[in-house]
């Protein structure tokens, strides 16, 4: 199970507290969105789920984040295995400046997950099919990934994550650099992928959160103000701060 349980989680950047006693349970094979104004801690919380914040000097954490019952902040956790299991897609597409094929196969080869070329070929194809990209670029596998459109690059980055067989996909503003048509296509892709993956998305676009997610977390100044079904958050929130934000009175 790819359920994520966050318990009494705090994060500090030096003396500044970025996350304050966050508690929430993210259910498997659903899309959970995190909303809130800039600087509220949503991206910090997202990056905590695969310990990307460890790369920042001076970061300290307290509490637990449990995935499938295991606290990922335990000392004996293998960070490389964690990040294969919990893949990350960033705001701007970041394909490697190598071929389309090698982008998708990169994690398999670097992490020595698979060595047989015919098996790697099959995984590359299936990964590209999963993001509805195979038919468009199957004749361009040897060409640079940088020649693809921005939407195709973002799909490729998702395929690169999928290739190493994760359980969880984290999306940090994945449509912020895309036009409305490309955004719609990525949203449709997310809806398909949730059948097989637990997806957590950070977005400034409240309409996007309402369209694609089943659960929504509203954050403010490092605190989790409210976490509930998306329909309730947007139509009948339980906290006035949430109501003020989703109705546009601030943010």
Contact partners, residue 75, CB within 8 Å, separation at least 6: none
| pLDDT at 81 > cutoff 60 | yes
pLDDT > 70 fraction of the chain, expressed in percent and rounded: 98
pLDDT tens digits for 29-47?
999 999 999 999 999 999 9
pLDDT tens digits for 146-198?
999 999 999 999 999 999 999 999 999 999 888 999 999 999 999 999 999 99
Residue 23 included in any domain: yes
* pLDDT for position 211: 96
d(CA 84, CA 144): 24
3-class state of residue 5 by DSSP: strand
Residue 38 included in any domain: yes
Domain limits for position 78: 4-246
Residue 57 included in any domain: yes
| pLDDT at 128 > cutoff 60 | yes
d(CA 124, CA 120): 6
Task: For residues 140-144, give the mean pLDDT.
Answer: 97
Contact partners, residue 172, CB within 8 Å, separation at least 6: 43, 46, 47, 88, 89, 90, 91, 201, 202
| pLDDT at 238 > cutoff 80 | yes
- E strands of the chain, at which residues? 4-13, 16-26, 31-35, 59-67, 70-71, 86-89, 168-172, 198-202, 215-220, 223-229
* pLDDT for position 97: 96
Task: For residues 117-133, give the mean pLDDT.
Answer: 93
Confidence (pTM): 0.93
| pLDDT at 1 > cutoff 60 | no
* pLDDT for position 115: 75
- Angle of CA points 217, 221, 223, to nearest 5°: 45
Number of domains in the chain: 1
- Give residue 6's Cα distance to chain centre: 16
Residue 191 included in any domain: yes
d(CA 74, CA 110): 25
Residue 157 included in any domain: yes
Residue 251 included in any domain: no
Task: For residues 92-115, give the mean pLDDT.
Answer: 88
Residue 198 included in any domain: yes
* pLDDT for position 96: 95
Residue 202 included in any domain: yes
d(CA 218, CA 224): 6
For the chain, give the mean pLDDT: 94
pLDDT tens digits for 194-228?
999 999 999 999 999 999 999 999 999 999 999 99
Domain of 22: which CATH number? 3.40.50.300
């Amino acid at each position: 199970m790819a359920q994520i349980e966050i318990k009494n989680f705090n994060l500090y950047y030096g003396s500044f507290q970025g996350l304050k006693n966050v508690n929430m349970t993210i259910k498997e094979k659903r899309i959970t969105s995190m909303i809130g104004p800039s600087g509220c801690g949503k991206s910090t919380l997202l990056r905590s789920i695969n310990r990307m914040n460890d790369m920042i000097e001076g970061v300290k954490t307290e509490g637990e984040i449990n995935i499938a019952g295991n606290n990922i902040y335990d000392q004996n956790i293998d960070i490389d295995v964690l990040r294969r299991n919990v893949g990350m897609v960033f705001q701007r597409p970041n394909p490697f400046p190598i071929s389309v094929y090698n982008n998708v196969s990169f994690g398999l080869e670097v992490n020595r997950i698979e060595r047989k070329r015919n098996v790697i070929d099959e995984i590359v194809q299936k990964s590209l099919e999963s993001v509805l990209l195979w038919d468009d670029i199957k004749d361009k596998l040897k060409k640079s990934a940088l020649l693809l459109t921005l939407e195709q690059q973002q799909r490729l980055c998702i395929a690169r994550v999928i290739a190493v067989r994760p359980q969880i996909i984290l999306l940090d503003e994945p449509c912020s650099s895309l036009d409305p048509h490309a955004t719609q296509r990525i949203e449709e892709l997310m809806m398909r992928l949730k059948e097989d993956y637990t997806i957590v998305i950070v977005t400034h676009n409240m309409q996007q959160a309402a369209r694609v997610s089943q659960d929504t977390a509203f954050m403010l100044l490092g605190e989790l103000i409210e976490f509930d079904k998306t329909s309730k958050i947007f139509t009948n929130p339980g906290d006035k701060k949430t109501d003020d934000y989703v109705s546009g009175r601030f943010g």
